[in-house]
Amino acid sequence: MSRWSLGAVERLAPDDSSLAAARKLARPGPWSQTGSTDTLVWGRCQGSGRTPYQVSVDLTGPRYRCSCPSRKFPCKHALALLLLWVRTDGSVAEATETADFADAWARERAERAAARAGAPSTEVDPEARARRLAERRATMSAGIEDFARWLADLVRGGLAGARRRPWSWWDATAARLVDAQLPGLAEQLRTMAGQVSARSDWSEHLLVEAGRWWTAVQAWRRWDALDDDTRGDLRALLGWAQPREEVVARGTTDGPWQVLGAHRTDDGRLQQQRTWLRHLDSGETVQVLDFAAGRQPLPVARLDGSVLAAAVALYPGHGPRRGAFAADPLAVGQDATLPPGMTLEEAFGRLAAGWTANPWLQRVPVVLKATLVPASEQRSALVVDGAGRCVPMLADEPWDLLARTGGRPTSVFGELEASGFRPLTVVEVDR
């Protein structure tokens, strides 16, 4: 495996403070017994205690192991080791033998993966399963009808009154949706409570979302008549998760898969990570979703441009479909090229086409040929295509991407939503 770029390592940092601390440690002084192979990087880092920390990185995941007490993944020691490794100045040289602690960790991971692959399946009582499913659907149906009455009251009283409602009015309805096992709708309602107060176009936004919610009510009432893909779209909106084992049992699609980009969100209760993959043979783009509650760590983000050998199971639904790894993927190379870029008019055409199949679709993955323009006092940061059409840039910290492009047109991969474009990966412009 070729050594990663400096930017690829920096994007692994869980936060700015971890990266800053790693840069201070990325010097030969604190390190000993460093080495690397095609799949592993390891070393010992002297901390404040007497015993150096044992640090190992599995490049195929990537996965990290450090004996320090940090709960961040990767910790500053793993990041510093990778920063040393990418320099190719001999600080972390290639080795013919793996250090004992790194080899033991790699063997443990391989044994656990083999055990999971050979684990016997557990039989499920079909009658008990059908009974639980019927009970859940009855609970959800009661919650949907309660939500339908709430929507009717909202429209009957006029949308203007929604802005005068206290947070408790929204939260009480969301709590009932949670009790009815409809967490997806509950989360959207709580989000809307903040948007009604903060957005200048709140009335138009609320009207559009209320229409989508009403469409979901009507679709649920016709559940038995829906096709599998529409059911999958509705389940995603309602927050009714489909067991991963069921999806994998339907079949998988083998790679190679290229990692186009990833995005993380954290609302204080739930962390989400979206990873976009493109099949290098068919060109299909899917998203892999990972979740973590509270302060639990998310899986480590895949490196942009990595090529993965992996079997991906696809959930029912219209495109872009959600996928799940049937087993841990293996990084087999790198491909930093992006598909040909399109104009914003073509991109919005793709979003509109997605809405015709799935009215609850939030975003589509697209590659644009565009220029990233920084914010000013009069406007927000923009994404401008060659025809001069522009949309707001949905990025809290766009400075890294702006610095990489330098105001020049480039190919940029990201997520297009009704409110703007979120850049995730850019092809750096030659200086």
How many of the other CB atoms lie within 10 Å of CB of 170? 19
Q: Which of 50-59, 70-79, 202-211, 375-384 has the lowest mean pLDDT?
A: 375-384
Q: Is the pLDDT of residue 126 over 60?
A: yes
| C-alpha–C-alpha distance, residues 9 and 186, integer Å | 37
Are the beta carbons of 44 and 33 closer than 8 angstroms? yes
Residue type, 200: S
User: What are 216's two structure tokens?
Assistant: 């979901």
Asked whether the predicted pLDDT for residue 206 surpasses 80, the reply is yes
Q: Are 84 and 34 in contact (CB under 8 A)?
A: yes
Quick check: 28 pLDDT over 70?
yes
- List the chain domain ranges: 6-115, 130-238, 244-334, 344-426
Confidence at residue 98, expressed as pLDDT on a 0 to 100 scale: 87
Question: Per-residue pLDDT for 119 more than 60?
Answer: no
Per-residue pLDDT, 429 = 57
Q: Which of 7-21, 207-221, 247-261 has the lowest mean pLDDT?
A: 7-21
**pLDDT tens, 132-156?**
888 889 999 999 999 999 999 999 9
Reported as a pLDDT band with limits 50, 70 and 90, residue 431 is: very low
Asked if the model's pLDDT at residue 55 lies above 50, the reply is yes
Average pLDDT, stretch 341-364? 94
Per-residue pLDDT of 157-193, as tens digits, reads 898 889 899 988 999 999 999 889 898 999 899 989 9
DSSP for 115-154 reads: HHHTPPPPP--HHHHHHHHHHHHHHHHHHHHHHHHHHHHH
- Looking at 42-51, 109-118, 233-242, which range is the least confident one? 109-118
CA angle in degrees (0–180, nearest 5) for 402-406-408: 110
Confidence class for position 269, pLDDT limits 50, 70, 90: low
Percentage of the chain beyond pLDDT 90 is: 44
Question: What is the per-residue pLDDT for 71?
Answer: 78
Among residues 36, 141, 25, 132, which one has the least CA distance to residue 76?
25
Q: For 312-326, write each residue's pLDDT tens digit.
A: 999 999 989 999 998
pLDDT for 300: 67
Rounded to the nearest integer, the mean pLDDT of the chain is: 87
